[in-house]
Chain A
């Protein structure tokens, strides 16, 4: 965790001086971690979703990911079968996950979601829980 925080600080420093793309580096590892340890439970390792009596939508090649706010709000608020992760994931984890799915699985959206943008939409008391 400390290491992650440090990376965040380094990223922020870099961000202030140099190109946005540089911030993507620490994000990618973190994003992959969040995706493979949480998101793929429902959206599946190949991000193609699944169909049973109900369904989990595919994130692969999904045009709804074009606006970064859409996946962010889904993670923060939840919708129908998708629970809210606002209290379970840290803001940097949410940003990293969004950036990861928007640049993988056939999605190529270069603009980056920042932790600050996530924090801005989190409910007031957003101390996330790590169980």
Chain B
């Protein structure tokens, strides 16, 4: 670019600039929490053409990755068998319903006391529109989907150190933040401070867009009036009949107060690629997907089988498994190939003969910590008292989120809320608590946002993922260095053995990672079999 030219910003530069002024921390947080942002690579049902020539594949684990593999390989003509530690299909795809009994490591047993029809998803709970693979399996298996509410403008954002610890409505923080930032940016523009950066023509367009983005009035001011109330709500909303004229809201929250409260950090979360609307959940609980797969594969999954040893030679793979309860009754089953979807936290402890590079990769991936707590209340007070229908409240307290049920709106009777979704160091601390302590703490902290908790709480269940006996953690947590060093080694076919699962994907901690990893693994395996 010649220095004489009037510097005009490209669209991209402009966006980047707005990002810097308005929301860099927001997008950083969103992206950092998810790893790399990548569109799903799924493009339609996999086609495995050519004869497998009678080959058999032993699949280890009946999570999403194992069951996608089993279904597709069986359809392609392979002899398949699945060994699964649990007595159910789905793995981390799991819902806990009234009557279910769950025993975590250490022997802590919970019996879920939820009413009939109520559930909590202790693991996955949402399916973004751009996860084409898992959504396509829902379609093919007849799993009904309904909207997941990621963003509820009437839910709260909350910081114990701001606004005297009083929760704020997302709607008001979002409107007052963007309104005042837009006004400030307009002012700077009109003071000619952008002349070095943009042409006059572009500045005009910028001002027009700021007016629209920030709900500014004709004079580019964020002031009480039609535009601002249309965003943040009214002091008295318009009604019908006499005395029905609206009163515009005027008690705006000052920009510095918003900035120092940190509450703006919640604003970007729903804009992340994997959180954008439309986003879905299975009707009746996330576990419906695993259950549907399980029915489809009823005759090939063998439950209550704990794999303890995998040994391959030039002719076959032999897998030894035991009874999970007693550790006894060892049996060995052989096949031509073995596709293993056991989480690396567990697989790294299983005797296995693969290349040193692959073994190093299996050993290299730590699992993140996470805790979820489901709470049953006597009535849906968040709807009845506060007009919150689904969605998420964000807080800086260790509970992190309060997730309201995205179904059964306006029903009388009880309801189950996600009372805590804990991450990071807090999640390790919550894992160290007994399940009852986790529930008690979630109720105590949550009551600072909803005082109704105290009277309405009935019972709860809590899952700390490092105590889940069959994953020992939430999900594979790859550092960039580990990925550079080990990822390709992990995904190789080692003689007759290969792995699949969310840990063998660039979409860790999402079911789409399990689906796309499985499809890639079976495609490469099939290629090898057909060409051998």
Q: Which residue numbers of A lie inside 8 Å of B, CB to CB?
A: 36-42, 44-45, 50-56, 78-84, 88, 129-131
Contact = CB atoms under 8 A, between A and B. Distances in A.
**Interface of chain B: mostly helix, strand, loop or mixed:** loop
Given A50-B105, A53-B306, A38 B428 contact: yes
B425 interface: yes
B428 A88 contact: yes
Contacts of B367: 81, 83
A82 B477 CA distance: 12
Nearest to B471: A53
B105 A56 contact: yes
B423 A81 contact: no
Contact of B432 (A37, A54, A82, A88): A37
B106 A131 contact: no
Interface string B308-347: 0000000000000000100100000000000000100110
Nearest to B431: A41
Contact of A41 (B307, B342, B428): B428
B346 A88 contact: no
B472 interface: yes
Given A80-B363, A84-B366, A52 B429 contact: no
A53 B470 contact: yes
Contacts, number: 92
27 contacts: A37-B428, A37-B429, A41-B432, A41-B466, A42-B466, A42-B467, A44-B105, A44-B106, A45-B106, A50-B469, A52-B468, A52-B470, A54-B350, A56-B105, A56-B472, A78-B366, A80-B348, A80-B349, A81-B345, A81-B346, A81-B348, A81-B367, A81-B473, A82-B366, A83-B477, A131-B425, A131-B426
Given A41-B428, A50-B106, A56-B105, A81 B467 contact: no
A84 B477 CA distance: 11
B435 interface: no
Interface residues of B, number: 37
Nearest to B398: A131
Interface of B: 85, 105-107, 306-307, 324, 327, 342, 345-346, 348-350, 363, 366-369, 423-426, 428-429, 431-432, 464, 466-473, 477
Contact of B363 (A41, A51, A79, A83): A79
B348 A51 contact: no
B345 A54 contact: yes
Contacts of B425: 38, 88, 129-131
A130 B349 CA distance: 30
B327 A51 contact: yes
